[in-house]
Amino acid sequence: MKPTLVILAAGMGSRYGGLKQMDSVDEAGNKIIDFSMYDALRENFDEVVFIIKKAIEKDFKEEVGNRVAKHMKVTYVYQELDKLPIGYKLSENRLKPWGTAHALLCCKDVINKPFCVINSDDFYGRDAFKTIHDFLVSTKDDDKMHFAMVGYELNKTLTDNGTVTRGVCLADEKGYLTDIKETKDIKKDGLNGLYKENDKWISLKGDTLVSMNFWGFTPAIFPYLEQGFIDFLNSTNDLIKDEFYIPIFVDTLIKRNLCDVLVLSTKEQWFGVTYKEDKENVVNSIKALKEKNVYPKVLWN
């Protein structure tokens, strides 16, 4: 059974200043999301599920979805603020999406086979898709769920243009994730990273393993996601700003011994567009890959 690719594309892009998932990064008009789909197609994924907002549906289909629909099955799901469990009411002051784990929950009725989840604005590279594909076609849940994530070294994921949020990971000697901490406002410090906690600066080594939201899951996760979102709504201190994140949710499953998460390594270099100033590096990196014939000049012939 061929796995499904799920793409998180409903973010607001507040730090970037616009809908970065639809911003072109080469002369052919391709977006970063196109390169991810192209790599997934080459690695035998046969379906893509886009998580978007209704407000961008028309533009997104014209700019992204309609092109890939000629090559893969395409499904759309919609992450909206009012997609809440029965009995819960949306605050009129809530403006931002509920987070990546809530976005994933929106897919529960359209996915029935192993799948991977990625961000729309991150470049992961073909080897990462091959690695996650090989895991997904061989994994089988038993007394617990068996998931995976592709990890990257922190120093390969930082930007010179501001701070970032990363899931800082720890793995055991067998390569299984033991702990993941969603860490905000990490800034570059030479080859390392720095973030502030309780008014103290904490250093992170450059080779620290971090999650870039490249996950491999089975459909067994969805009932736990449903309950997890309810638990989040009941426990959060700020229903206006707090978000339900995939790394934090997965960490709770690990702690409850409900799943294990194999950390997969990749030789690929990550790059992305958190800020507008990051785009130049992305454009240059894509151009260099094309010059090496890693990608054709036109992806979707």
DSSP state of 251: H
Residues 179-225: tens digit of each pLDDT? 998 898 999 999 999 999 988 999 999 999 999 999 999 999 999 99
Residues 148-163 have a mean pLDDT of: 92
Measured distance CA(2)–CA(137) in Å, rounded: 7
Average pLDDT, the chain: 92
- Residue 293 φ/ψ region, left for φ over 0, alpha for ψ in the -120 to 50 degree band, beta for the rest: left
Measured distance CA(290)–CA(104) in Å, rounded: 32
Given pLDDT bands bounded at 50, 70 and 90, which one contains residue 22? confident
Closest-CA residue to 218 (of 130, 144, 127): 144
Q: Does domain 4-291 have CATH number 3.90.550.10?
A: yes
Which sign, positive or negative, has the C-alpha torsion 112, 117, 121, 125? negative
The SS3 of residue 30 is: coil
Decide if pLDDT at 3 tops 90: yes
The count of C-alpha atoms lying within 13 angstroms of the C-alpha of 113, restricted to the half-sphere facing its C-beta, is 15
Decide if pLDDT at 12 tops 90: no
Query: pLDDT at position 19, please?
Result: 55
For the question of whether the overall pTM of this predicted structure is more than 0.85, the answer is yes
Residues 48-66: tens digit of each pLDDT? 999 999 998 998 999 899 9
Query: pLDDT at position 276, please?
Result: 84
Query: pLDDT at position 269, please?
Result: 83
Are 115 and 3 spatial neighbours (Cβ–Cβ below 8 Å)? yes
DSSP state of 176: B
Both tokens of 248, joined, read 């934090």
Query: pLDDT at position 142, please?
Result: 95
Measured distance CA(124)–CA(226) in Å, rounded: 28
Residues in the chain: 301
Are 120 and 21 spatial neighbours (Cβ–Cβ below 8 Å)? yes
Measured N-to-C along each axis, helices 246-255 and 221-235 cross at an angle, to the nearest 10 degrees, of 110
Residues 256-292: tens digit of each pLDDT? 999 999 999 887 888 888 888 899 999 999 999 999 9
φ and ψ at residue 266, rounded to 5 degrees:
-145, 150
Query: pLDDT at position 23, please?
Result: 82
